[in-house]
Amino acid sequence: MNETVFSVQIKPVGTAKKTRRRLQNPNPESAARILDAATALLREADFPQLRVEEVATRAGVSVGTFYLYFDGKDDLFVQLVVQHTEELRGRLRAAYASPGPFTARMDRALEAYLDFVEENQAGFLYFRDGGTVDTTVGRLSTWAADQHATDLCPILDEAMEAGEIRRCDAMLLAQATIGVVQHLAGFWAEHREHCSRRTLHRFINETTMFGSAVRSPSPDRATRR
């Protein structure tokens, strides 16, 4: 179960909701079970087809208990995005902190990103298409991109200081990298007949991830997949 449940308080705005009783001391384990159940169901059906009753049954809780933790499906969607954003951030941070030069660490980060997309393809694509929902921290897709860009910026600054990549605006480069990788990963997920994961990985490495490298790596260093 994910231990980051409710560590970031973000709520959808602009959606009508009924006044419901709220728990004074919510149990993170119960919330995690509901989120885990929804994640599992999203591997079987798209989010619009997901019903609160199904989620509650899979989580082993009543519908009433579901509404003690979530205001409805919009709130559930937002919390799923928060949970999965934090999970992906953890994987990418581990890659950034791994040993080796900048290009090797970025290569591992891209592998981690594509692993995540494959494991959560339906949810990833729905977020790409529906992540424009407004929340208490602004547009949800913008919030998620900003989290990833903020994590990447220090790695880019470090690489610039070491002379591994050309100097430029680190935040602009981070935002561009996150945006392009997300878009291309989504295209690949929907059009796998167009290219293999290995081809996608190599293309991103050569045109985006390593495009600012002082010395770009050989294509032979691309992923083996």
Q: Quick one: which of 99, 110, 88, 69 has its CA closest to 204?
A: 110
- pLDDT tens for residues 138-164? 899 999 999 999 999 999 999 999 999
pLDDT of residue 223: 46
Mean pLDDT of the chain: 85
For 9-21, write each residue's pLDDT tens digit. Answer: 888 887 655 555 6
Better pLDDT: 14 or 181? 181
The closest alpha carbon to 124, from 173, 190, 175, 67, belongs to 190
- Which residue type, as a one-letter code, is found at position 71? D
Q: How far, in Å, CA of 82 to CA of 32, rounded? A: 12
Three-class DSSP labels, 144-187: HHHHHHHHHHHHHHHHHHCCCECCCCHHHHHHHHHHHHHHHHHH
Q: In angstroms, how far apart are the furthest CA atoms of the chain?
A: 59
The predicted structure's pLDDT at residue 78 = 92
Chain segment 74-120, per-residue pLDDT in tens? 999 999 999 999 999 999 999 999 999 999 999 999 999 999 999 99
The percentage of residues in the chain with a pLDDT greater than 90, rounded to a whole number, is 63
Output the pLDDT for position 219. 42
3-state secondary structure of 102: helix
The pLDDT of residue 5 is above 60:
no
Q: What is the DSSP letter of 224?
A: -
- pLDDT for residue 212: 59
Q: How confident is the model at residue 1 (pLDDT cuts 50, 70, 90)?
A: very low
Question: Nearest to residue 159, comparing CAs of 214, 88, 223, 92?
Answer: 214
Most trustworthy range by pLDDT among 47-61, 88-102, 117-131, 205-219: 88-102
CA–CA separation, 80 and 69 (whole Å)? 13
> The tokens of 81 are what?
């995005």
Handedness of CA 107, 109, 115, 121 (dihedral sign): negative
Residue 213's SS3 state is strand
196: phi > 0 → left, psi -120 to 50 → alpha, else beta; which?
Answer: beta
Contacts of 110 (CB under 8 A, 6+ apart): 181, 201, 204, 205, 209, 223
Residue 130's SS3 state is helix
Q: Is 33 exposed, middle or buried (0-12, 13-18, 19+ CB in 10 A)?
A: buried
- Residue ranges of domains in the chain, CATH in brackets: 81-221 (1.10.357.10)
Per-residue confidence at 172, pLDDT binned at 50, 70, 90?
very high
Asked whether the predicted pLDDT for residue 134 surpasses 80, the reply is yes
pLDDT-derived band at 213, boundaries 50, 70, 90: low
